[in-house]
Structure 1
Amino acid sequence: MRNHSRRAALAAGVALLTAFAAAALAAPASAASTGGGSFVYTVHPLSKFMSASAPAAFPTPSQCVAAYGIACYTPAEIRTAYDIPADYTGAGTSIVIVDAYGSPTIQSDLATFSAAFGLPYDSGTLHVYYPGGKPPTLTAHASVPLGWAGETTLDVEWAHAIAPEATINLVVAANPGGNVLDNAVQWAVAHNLGDVLSMSYGVDEAYIKGNNANNAQVNQATQIFSSAVGKGMAVFASSGDGGATDGFSVTNAGYPASDPNVIAVGGTNLFTDDAGNYQSETVWNDGDPAQCPFGCTDGAFGATGGAPSKLFAASTFQGAVSGLTARTTSDVSYNASVYTSVLVYAGFYPNPADNGFYFYGGTSSGSPQWAAIGALAKAAGVSLADLNAKLYGAAAAHPAAFHDVTVGSNNFNGPGYSAKSGYDIPTGLGSPDVAKLVSALQ
């Protein structure tokens, strides 16, 4: 998905991510397809520089607000906020993360991140696969690969933060072409690489609807996702960072999150105390001053996606709570705002001065963390077969398994949808209380 971010006083590396986002925003519809009839997936990691090295002690959320205008969260604080017990580690499970280009420093960056936050790490924590061959070396002018390096880093580090003893299998596609990334997913599924799979990328359905070649690509991808679900794998994708329209004049769901085989993850603003104890959540939407937290001092980074699909019908279990015949994103939600960000170590920049700890946000942060929660559930004995249907069932039978987000909307630079009690389009069933959710699924 394209992001709509504005940043102030950022490191040069983050400016490159911004340049990529702006290029995606400005691209006409024809730019979203390639010569082979395949669309191109894009990523939307949103970030702001914090420090070149780990401080003696990371600031608390309120200290971050005072210093940066942002409430930053460590792994321990996010685990506390979403009620992840200390003995929920994901041991014996595996998480598949699929990205294009990857990051040349992902192993060392994960080691640095793990050391900074007291997480386990060894040579078996992360395995990297290149089914289409290794991508070229990053350069300072390679804005698109740098954006994907940021996405890869966010995905891997925060899947590890939530399920620190799960094995992470990173599958790197040679480029972000739709068929290339879909083939990477197919390769991971065919090789049974994981219990869960995360895709923190997407393309607007507006680029697909009515294009026969792109619809053929979607049909192929749907078969891949269906095969994954048929094997008992849970598949997650981010709902997008451009609100309900993502820059179009009408509401517009993001794909592959809109595929009914995929669990679509929307975004929130998460508020905690300084120990990480959960206080509240609202719909992530920086475009509305009434919704953007802490004065929105760096401007509007984005807003959660979420809209009815133009390609897919609602499943029976979703239609029963949405009241719509169209498939809707989101199914669930998770902290996503840069203003309530997670901390990430990025060491992949060609200019070493740009490397360090960053505040990261976007719904692409939620997809790998929800996948890791799936791994936690698997380790606790939960079958992940048809997990999306089970999540809707758990929400109905055990409402306390989710934090019901009822405040805010995703009308970012256009029309949108409001949160309400129960299921809603921006935040789905809500965000997880992991201990209660796993119990409800057992």
Structure 2
Amino acid sequence: MKQKTMMFALAAAAALVAVSAVPAAATTSSSQWNYQVHPIAIRSHFSPGSVSHALPTGPADCLTATDGEFACQTPDSIRAAYNIPAEIDGVPAGTGQTIVIVDAFGSPTVRQDLATFSQAFGLPAAHLNVMYPTGTPTWTGHGTQLGWAQETSLDVQWAHAVAPGATIDLIVAANDHGNTINLAEQYAIDHKLGTVMSMSFGVPEYEVHGNNGQMGQAHKVYVDAQKQGMSVFASSGDDGSDNTAGSANYSYPASDALVTSVGGTNLLYGTDLEKNGLRETVWGDFALCATTCADGPIGATGGAPSLLTAKGGSDVAYNASVYTGVLTYLGFMGADANGFYFFGGTSAGSPQWAGITADVVQAVGHRIGDVSQYAASWSGSGALYDVTVGANSTPTFSGGYSATAGWDRPTGHGTPDVGAIIHALG
């Protein structure tokens, strides 16, 4: 048996624990809660500290290099899996569109890392604007800042991967307080910055309960976005159907009626793991792990009946398992830990759905607004792949929810065939 090629940096291992740990009960007062991110980053052996080591060509190559553990994704493999055009009308997909990405704290190396990522995968140079409407945070690299920096890198790089011609407006909130992030979102709406907006964060609904004022502030942002025809996406969460609450519990703002909620899958397409047309399953490591999963169960997609709204779970879905995760470059981990990481979480799906929506808007020539309103018809026409296997149960709530034919709570109406979506919209 060949030597295992995975390398785990101490900093990366610490980050994994920090950003995927069980959230504690709410410690904020009834007038304030904080948004959370859960990017799952595991150090890969590819290009540690530089781009001098060969990157895998796709998930099959990655499986071979990691002894069957990681079926990692590249921009080319994601485009192939979801039929995402690299160009539209002879120019890079997304040209003429602006993707708004909202994060807290930001990343100290976001521009350099995006340039490294683009060069490594042969993408056009990115058009990135970074804005601090609520004040410029001081980077310490400690606590929750590390997770948010990882999230920022993931969001920006993979929005660019699927919409390489689009401008990215990164809106950085000064902290992760709900009110502060709401104000950052409002800034993007008031200044009419983009056609789509991605929010790869959330708060368990058990922490929102009793603070309808702050949720109302957020909902007003999404009402204003709807008036502009802006498409808004949020990740469904990475702690299964209960958010560690022990009973069904969803995440906000994914549960907002005007936000398209993105659930998570294991993407098996293009590998020997794909059998009998089963290209994707629910991302729920505790119920059905995608690969050898030698590092054990890591997470599960959110998706549950909302306690606060009428939403019953995810609207759509996208690849989210760390074992089928996307390669993302981090340059702020320290000289010995910088490099490409395997990233998972539904927070990878939100910016990519935003990116492909920018592609769709470019192709059809008009904004399309709330994507969830189309999901059922797209599913019926074959423009969404129906995920029917797997569940998002967890050790803290074994009930969970299983995938079924048609809409289900973990994966909504399914994952995209972007070419078919463009055709459906004419």
Q: What's the TM-score once normalised by structure 2's chain length?
A: 0.91
Instruction: Quote the residue 1:287 is aligned against.
Output: 286
CA distance in 2, matches of 1:60, 1:253: 33
Q: CA deviation at 1:26?
A: 5.0
Q: CA deviation at 1:15?
A: 2.5
Instruction: Quote the residue 1:42 is aligned against.
Output: 36
**Structure 2: 5+ residue runs without aligned partners?**
1-5
Q: CA deviation at 1:226?
A: 0.8
Return the letter of the residue paired with 1:202. G
1:373 matches 2:321: no
- Structure 1 residues 101-112: aligned runs within 5 Å: 101-112=105-116
Computed over aligned residues only, the root mean square deviation of the Cα atoms, in angstroms, reads: 1.9
CA distance in 2, matches of 1:110, 1:335: 21
Whose helix fraction is larger, Structure 1's or Structure 2's? 1
Relative to structure 1, the CA distance from residue 57 to residue 255 in structure 2 (aligned partners, 3 Å threshold; closer, same or farther) is: closer
Cα displacement string for residues 16-53 of structure 1 (whole angstroms, at most 9, x for unaligned residues): 3234236x525223x2x25x812100001001111313
1:114 matches 2:114: no
Q: CA deviation at 1:203?
A: 0.3
Candidates 9, 12, 18, aligned match of 1:11 = 9
CA distance in 2, matches of 1:355, 1:131: 29
Q: What is the SS of the residue equivalent to 1:265? A: strand
Instruction: Quote the residue 1:321 is aligned against.
Output: none
CA distance in 2, matches of 1:232, 1:20: 37
1:266 matches 2:263: yes
Q: CA deviation at 1:118?
A: 0.4
Instruction: Quote the residue 2:335 is aligned against.
Output: 352
Return the letter of the residue paired with 1:272. Y
Count of residue pairs the alignment pairs up: 406
Instruction: Quote the residue 2:404 is aligned against.
Output: 420
CA distance in 2, matches of 1:9, 1:426: 32
Instruction: Quote the residue 1:79 is aligned against.
Output: 79
Relative to structure 1, the CA distance from residue 434 to residue 275 in structure 2 (aligned partners, 3 Å threshold; closer, same or farther) is: farther
Cα displacement string for residues 87-108 of structure 1 (whole angstroms, at most 9, x for unaligned residues): 2411000000000000011001
CA distance in 1, matches of 2:356, 2:199: 15
Instruction: Quote the residue 1:297 is aligned against.
Output: 294
- Check conservation: 1:14, 1:48, Cα contact below 8 A: yes
Return the letter of the residue paired with 1:168. I
1:132 matches 2:129: no
Instruction: Quote the residue 1:229 is aligned against.
Output: 226
- Check conservation: 2:282, 2:403, Cα contact below 8 A: yes
Return the letter of the residue paired with 1:364. S
Cα displacement string for residues 36-76 of structure 1 (whole angstroms, at most 9, x for unaligned residues): 81210000100111131332342542232233211011101
CA distance in 2, matches of 1:170, 1:292: 34
Return the letter of the residue paired with 1:368. P
Q: What is the SS of the residue equivalent to 2:349? A: helix
CA distance in 1, matches of 2:177, 2:239: 21
Q: CA deviation at 1:275?
A: 12
Which region of structure 1 is more displaced relative to structure 2, 10-19 or 153-162?
A: 10-19
Candidates 58, 62, 65, aligned match of 1:64 = 62
Q: What is the SS of the residue equivalent to 2:197? A: strand
- Check conservation: 1:19, 1:143, Cα contact below 8 A: no
Instruction: Quote the residue 2:3 is aligned against.
Output: none
Instruction: Quote the residue 1:319 is aligned against.
Output: none
Q: CA deviation at 1:13?
A: 2.6
Q: CA deviation at 1:426?
A: 0.5
CA distance in 2, matches of 1:276, 1:166: 33
Q: What's the TM-score once normalised by structure 1's chain length?
A: 0.88
Cα displacement string for residues 173-193 of structure 1 (whole angstroms, at most 9, x for unaligned residues): 000000001110001111111
- Check conservation: 1:281, 1:405, Cα contact below 8 A: yes
Q: CA deviation at 1:81?
A: 0.5
1:256 matches 2:271: no
CA distance in 2, matches of 1:225, 1:159: 20
Over the matched positions of the two proteins, sequence identity in percent amounts to: 49
Q: What is the SS of the residue equivalent to 1:145? A: helix
Q: What is the SS of the residue equivalent to 1:296? A: coil
Candidates 376, 391, 396, aligned match of 1:392 = 376
Q: CA deviation at 1:10?
A: 2.4
**Structure 1: 5+ residue runs without aligned partners?**
1-7, 314-326
State the 4+ residue runs in structure 1 displaced beyond 6 angstroms.
275-278
Q: What is the SS of the residue equivalent to 2:216? A: helix
